[in-house]
Amino acid sequence: MSEILRFQDWSDPVPAGDREVVSRLPEEDDGERPPLLFVPGMGHGGWAFTEHWLAHAASRGWPSHAVTPRPGGDLRAQAHDVVQTAAALPRQTVLIGHGTGARVVARALGRYPARAAVLVSPVLDGWAALGAALRGNPAGTIPALFGGPLRFSAKQLFGPGLPAEQAQAHLERIGARPRAELFGRDALPEPVGGPPTLVVGSPDDRVVRRPELDKAAARYGGAPLLFPGMGHYLMLETSWQEPIDAILDWLGKQTPAR
């Protein structure tokens, strides 16, 4: 497929849609650091990042935003929403996607030269994720194969460190009706502008297993940064600060002040 001849984009552009953006800005922005744009995956919205990560990144000096793509949008529309949001920010932006949101980011990277990219617990190969879900939680997963909602268990999504009532509260907000193409495994585009890309995850994640993390990292030319003992939702766990600090440290090195 040609990345230059874009008949679909030329003849049938994605129309404007409702996307929600929440922002946490540093008290003083010297303009040295690129903005961060967090992209949630299926089943949760920007709120998953406002819990802890956005404010923390802002307190460390990074202008931080999370976008919830239009409800019901397909992969193309979601990637469009991410690119539109990034292009509306004042400076070249870092894209950070979680779960299937990482797949949306991977698509967006073919359309926007991100300053850098971070794929957190990325569901790039939906089939592998589906397999893992079927093994770990067959009762909650099988209905989704027939168009029903996907039901998760706390054990499936979170590490043992997260108190049960918190896990339950998060679970109640997570509801996914998976769209087929979010689970596809079509070829990911070559990122334009060659941004440095980091894959982050946990070897104990029951949604995205270790081999998937290795594969994702290899696709973008590196090794995954691992946080043992955590679940799928790194940003909602009790130890949420470790991964975001590591991500920010890495970004600091990759995007030296210009």
Partner 1 sequence: MQDSPDLGDRGDAVCVVGAGASGLTAIKNLREQGFAVDCYERETSVGGAWNWRHDRSPVYAGTYLVSSRPLTEFPDFPMPDTWPDYPHHQQVLEYLERYARHFGLGEHIWYGMEVVSIVPVADGRWDVTIRSTGGGSSRVQRYAAVVIANGHNWAPVQPEIPGDFLGQVIHSSAYKDPARLRGKRVLVIGGGNTGCDLAVEAAQHADQVWHSTRRGYWFAPKYVGSRPADQLANERAPSWLRRRRNRRVAADLTRWGMPAPEHTPFESNPVVNGLLPHYLGHGRIMPVPDVTGWDGTEVTLADGRIIEPQLVITATGYRPRFDFAAPELLDADEHGRPDLHLHTFARRHPTLAVVGLVQPDSGLFPIAHWQSVAVARWLKLRARDPEKATAVQREESERPLESWSRRKVVPTRRYWFEVGHVDYLRAVESLLNRMESVK
Binding site for partner 1 (CB under 8 A): 2, 4-17, 80, 83-84, 87-92, 111-113, 192-194, 258
User: Is residue 40 within 8 Å of 101, Cβ to Cβ?
Assistant: yes
Handedness of CA 86, 87, 93, 97 (dihedral sign): positive
Nearest CB to partner 1, comparing residues 90 and 148: 90
How close are the terminal C-alpha atoms of the chain, in Å? Answer: 35
From residue 222, how far is each of 118, 202, 204, 213 by CA, in Å?
12, 16, 20, 11
CB of 82 to partner 1, least distance (A): 11
Nearest to 97, CA basis, from 109, 112, 80: 109
What is the nearest approach in angstroms of partner 1 to the Cβ of residue 194? 8
CB of 88 to partner 1, least distance (A): 7
Whose Cβ is closer to partner 1: residue 54's or residue 83's?
83
The answer to whether residues 109 and 79 touch, using CB atoms and an 8 Å cutoff, is no
Q: How far is the CB of 16 from partner 1 (least distance, A)?
A: 4
Query: Which is closer to partner 1, CB of 2 or CB of 139?
Result: 2
What is the closest distance, in whole angstroms, from the C-beta atom of residue 4 to partner 1 in the complex?
4
Q: Which is nearer to partner 1, 90 or 221 (by Cβ)?
A: 90
Residue 18 CB, nearest distance to partner 1 (Å)? 11
Structure tokens at 102: 């990482």
Tokens of 60: 């460390």
DSSP β-ladder status, 64-68 and 225-226 = unpaired
CB of 2 or CB of 146, closer to partner 1: 2
Q: Which is nearer to partner 1, 88 or 218 (CB)?
A: 88
For partner 1, the closer CB: 72 or 148: 72
Q: Return the amino acid letter for 34.
A: P
- Tell the smallest beta-carbon distance from residue 65 to partner 1 (Å): 14
The Cα 256–Cα 246 span in angstroms is 16
99 close to 196: Cβ distance less than 8 angstroms: no
Whole-angstrom Cα distance, residue 203 to residue 79? 27
* Burial bucket for residue 77 (CB in 10 Å: 0-12, 13-18, 19+): middle
